[in-house]
Amino acid sequence: MKLLPTLLCLLLALPAAAQLYQPGEVLSYRVSYKAKMFPNTEVATVQISTATEELDGETYYRVEGYGRTLPTYRWFFPIDDRYIVWADTLTLRTRFFESDVHEGEYTFTSRYRYDWPAMRVHTRWQKRKNPENRKTMALTPGSMDPVSLYFNMRTLDPADFREGESRVLEMLLQDTVRYLKYRFMGREEKKIRTMGRFRTLKFMCQIGTSDGYSFTDGSEFTLWISDDQNKIPLYIESPIRVGSIQAYITAYKGLKYPLASKIK
């Protein structure tokens, strides 16, 4: 179940299009587990919503990702994770990031404050009841927290990609920078449970280990996003030691553009 935060974050820089943040947009997902000799079982929900919010006299886009296990499985492994991003409405750069993670007896909180003029980010994080840690790190134009990374994926222009081409993005986690390598696999029709068939853009992704650009033993997953102007994530699948985890869209509202990728 450690994959749930990854799915939540990715279902989450320098954005290329204004539809990156659309106030009123709400995307809902179900997370399921599947293994040999084990049926495909829904175990959790994820919701990502976008709004505007006033902080210290300034207006921000506020994006909240919230994931939790379904009641049937909460007794076995309760997960209650929340991630929030505040982005500047003019520059579209992330200004603040917060996470509040509760997974069984494990708890983790973190806060980032971005200082883009100085190209620095100030991070604070705490595990369980341990003392709080703090660190200031240098930023690059491509530095992102996990939720901002999710939105960055929505700005991709397929015309700029060649099938099989790989690229690397930077992701800030606690006191270090991790790297996300993604490869465009082309267009594909994808059937989504209860939602129908969609035209999609398919990407193979891998999060590197903490050893610089090394992707050995990093987390791998496949991502399908809608092949239309919204570019919303429709389906994510990742292998785990036994079986695989999937997250798939179950509802949406407030999209800026028609969901033209849906095949009627």
Residue among 74, 68, 62, 64 nearest 31 (CA): 68
CB 12 within 8 A of CB 150: yes
Position 150 pLDDT exceeds 90: no
pLDDT over 80 at 51, yes or no: yes
Report the candidate in 119, 213, 199 with the shortest Cα–Cα distance to residue 167: 213
Predicted confidence (pLDDT) at residue 139 exceeds the cutoff of 60: yes
Question: Tell me, what's the pLDDT at 214?
Answer: 46
Reported as a pLDDT band with limits 50, 70 and 90, residue 3 is very low
Average pLDDT over residues 139-147: 75
Average model confidence (pLDDT) for the chain?
A: 80
Model confidence at 147, in pLDDT bands (50, 70, 90)? low
At residue 260, the pLDDT reads: 95
pTM of the complete model? 0.84
Q: Please check whether residue 243 is in contact with residue 237, taking contact to mean a CB–CB distance below 8 angstroms.
A: no
Confidence class for position 76, pLDDT limits 50, 70, 90: confident
Mean pLDDT of all residues in 173-177: 70
From the list 104, 102, 112, 115, the residue with the least C-alpha distance to 149 is 112
- The tokens for 255 are 């999209």
Q: How much is the average pLDDT of 174-189?
A: 82
**CA atoms of 183 and 102, how far apart (whole Å):** 32
How many CB atoms are closer than 10 A to CB 105?
7
Categorize the per-residue pLDDT at 146 as very low, low, confident or very high, splitting at 50, 70 and 90: low
Q: Tell me how far apart the alpha carbons of residues 145 and 188 are, in angstroms, rounded to a whole number.
A: 29
What percent of the chain is modeled with pLDDT above 70? 80
pLDDT cut 90: percent of the chain above it: 25
Confidence of residue 145 (pLDDT cuts 50, 70, 90): confident
Per-residue pLDDT tens digits for 193-212 = 889 999 999 988 887 755 55
Alpha-carbon span 235 to 215, nearest angstrom: 23
